[in-house]
């Protein structure tokens, strides 16, 4: 027997079980985590039984340590992200001076493509226009296509509404001598002002454009309808999309009435809704026109817009496409938003006072999905 074995036997001989448990508890408390390998050696050395008090203390301590480590890591990540966000914002803010200075008219807006379209209606033909667009994540890439189409100078940054950075940005831009009234930009970034002072924004908006002349109209041999089944952001508590049954029902009725059906939406919606199996059905994105067999034809952005405004009928959720249509002087059917599966009257949200206001947009026709399907039953046939 070597000295190591003698020492271990001596410890066993002169320490009671209670002493052993107390020492290990103290070791755990003092060192927080003695490590699984070290603990296993102690466990074997002192014959600690499974589910004993000491083992439970060890397990509880490890669990607490892991939780604390997770909280520390999460807090560290949050601080790191916050610091990075702060640096990025300061760079963005400092870069605005050069963008705004000079012989320019500076415009500002927040939100999605519909918000941008309302601003473009005001300034698209202004050669001095410099646009700052704080865009929703899902809108920024598509918004660039409109800005490039109208050959405008712009900066796109992520939407800061609701963050601590919104007010400094708003003040910096709106206090600049080149700032120009920017359509429905909410004063002080307060969307509630749309509800309280609707007439003020009515005087700032433009309700018609000559975009039809710019884009051009191209008729097809058959009448066709554009269906926009979904907004860019999907959630149940603020539902702006058709389910598969609703979508297929609307497509089926239009086909029975003799229309071609062109669905304007993303590839993601194509994957979830699928092709309706009919030769008169097509899927439209901003770069492709796809037939029901999946054969694709590449198109440019002007053709994309031309297909939309040349349609004979259009039904959409509350998305940018209905705003585009009414700005072009065309009518649009809009399916009302459902909040937790229930329809609410227009006016539930402040944005309704801008985008769904019949006083602003008399060519908007608002429906529940059920009422619209019933309306279609009485639509004259084109066969």
Cα–Cα distance list, 4 to 9, 10, 12, 38, 60 (Å): 9, 10, 13, 16, 31
pLDDT at residue 3, as a whole number:
47
Tokens 């809108």 sit on residue: 139
Burial 14-36 (b: 16+ CB within 10 A, else e): eeeeeebbeebeeebeeeeebee
pLDDT at residue 8, as a whole number:
42
**What kind and span of H or E run contains 366?**
strand 364-367
Tokens standing for 345? 């009257």
111 Cβ contact list (under 8 Å, min separation 6): 134, 135, 136, 139, 159, 161
Tokens standing for 34? 């003695």
pLDDT at residue 31, as a whole number:
47
**Beta-bridge partner residues of 134:** 110, 157
Q: How far apart are CA 339 and CA 144, in angstroms?
A: 30
Q: How far apart are CA 376 and CA 253, in angstroms?
A: 7
Tokens 């429905």 sit on residue: 184
Instruction: Report how far apart the first and last C-alpha atoms of the chain are (Å, whole number).
Output: 103
Residue 354 · residue 201 · CB < 8 Å: yes
Q: How far apart are CA 56 and CA 207, in angstroms?
A: 71
Residue 206 DSSP symbol: -
Tokens standing for 206? 């433009």
277 Cβ contact list (under 8 Å, min separation 6): 292
Tokens standing for 194? 């749309």
Q: Which of 112, 114, 303, 109 is nearest to 220 (CA)?
A: 303
Q: Which of 298, 299, 260 is nearest to 276 (CA)?
A: 260
Could you give phi then psi for residue 232, rounded to 5 degrees? -75, -25
Could you give phi then psi for residue 349, rounded to 5 degrees? -110, 150
**What kind and span of H or E run contains 252?**
helix 244-256
Q: Which of 99, 168, 172, 94 is nearest to 131 (CA)?
A: 99
pLDDT at residue 355, as a whole number:
97
Residue-level pLDDT, tens digit, the chain, 383 residues: 444 444 444 444 455 666 666 666 665 555 444 455 555 555 555 555 555 555 665 666 666 666 666 565 566 666 667 788 999 999 999 999 999 999 999 999 999 999 999 999 999 999 999 999 999 999 999 999 999 999 999 999 999 999 999 999 999 999 999 999 999 999 999 999 999 999 999 999 999 999 999 999 998 889 999 999 998 777 878 899 999 999 999 999 999 999 999 999 999 999 999 999 999 999 999 999 999 999 999 999 999 999 999 999 999 999 999 999 999 999 999 999 999 889 988 998 999 999 999 999 999 999 999 999 999 999 999 87
Name the E strands within 8-165: 105-111, 129-135, 153-158
Residue 330 DSSP symbol: -
pLDDT at residue 221, as a whole number:
87
Residue 158 · residue 135 · CB < 8 Å: yes
């Amino acid at each position: 027997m070597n000295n190591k074995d003698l020492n271990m036997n001596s410890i066993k001989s002169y320490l009671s079980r209670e002493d052993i448990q107390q020492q290990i508890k103290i070791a755990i408390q003092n060192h927080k985590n003695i490590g699984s390998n070290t603990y296993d050696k102690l466990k074997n050395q002192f014959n600690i039984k499974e589910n004993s008090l000491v083992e439970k203390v060890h397990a509880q301590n490890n669990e607490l340590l892991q939780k604390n480590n997770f909280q520390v890591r999460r807090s560290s990540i949050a601080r790191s992200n916050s610091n990075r966000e702060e640096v990025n914002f300061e760079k963005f803010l400092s870069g605005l001076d050069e963008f705004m200075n000079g012989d320019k008219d500076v415009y500002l807006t927040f939100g999605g493509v519909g918000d941008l379209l309302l601003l473009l209606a005001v300034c698209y033909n202004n050669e001095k226009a410099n646009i700052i667009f704080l865009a929703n994540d899902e809108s920024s890439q598509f918004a660039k296509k409109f800005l490039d189409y109208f050959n405008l100078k712009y900066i796109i940054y992520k939407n800061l509404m609701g963050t601590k950075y919104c007010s400094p940005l708003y003040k910096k831009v709106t206090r600049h001598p080149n700032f120009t009234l920017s359509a429905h930009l909410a004063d002080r970034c307060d969307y509630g002002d749309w509800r309280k002072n609707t007439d003020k924004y009515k005087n700032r908006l433009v309700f018609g454009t000559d975009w039809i002349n710019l884009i051009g109209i191209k008729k097809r041999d058959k009448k066709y309808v554009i269906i926009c089944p979904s907004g860019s952001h999907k959630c149940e508590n603020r539902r702006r999309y058709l389910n598969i049954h609703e979508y297929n029902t609307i497509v089926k009725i239009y086909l029975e009435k003799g229309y071609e059906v062109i669905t304007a939406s993303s590839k993601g919606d194509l994957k979830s809704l699928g092709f309706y199996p009919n030769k008169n059905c097509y899927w439209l994105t901003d770069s492709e026109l796809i037939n029901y067999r999946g054969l694709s034809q590449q198109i440019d952005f002007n053709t994309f817009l031309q297909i939309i405004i040349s349609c004979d009928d259009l039904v959409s959720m509350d998305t940018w496409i209905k705003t585009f249509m009414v700005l072009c002087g065309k009518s649009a059917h809009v399916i009302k938003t459902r909040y937790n599966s229930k329809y609410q009257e227009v006016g539930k949200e402040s944005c309704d006072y801008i985008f769904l206001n019949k006083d602003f947009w008399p060519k908007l026709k608002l429906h529940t999905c059920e009422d619209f399907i019933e309306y279609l039953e009485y639509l004259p046939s084109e066969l």
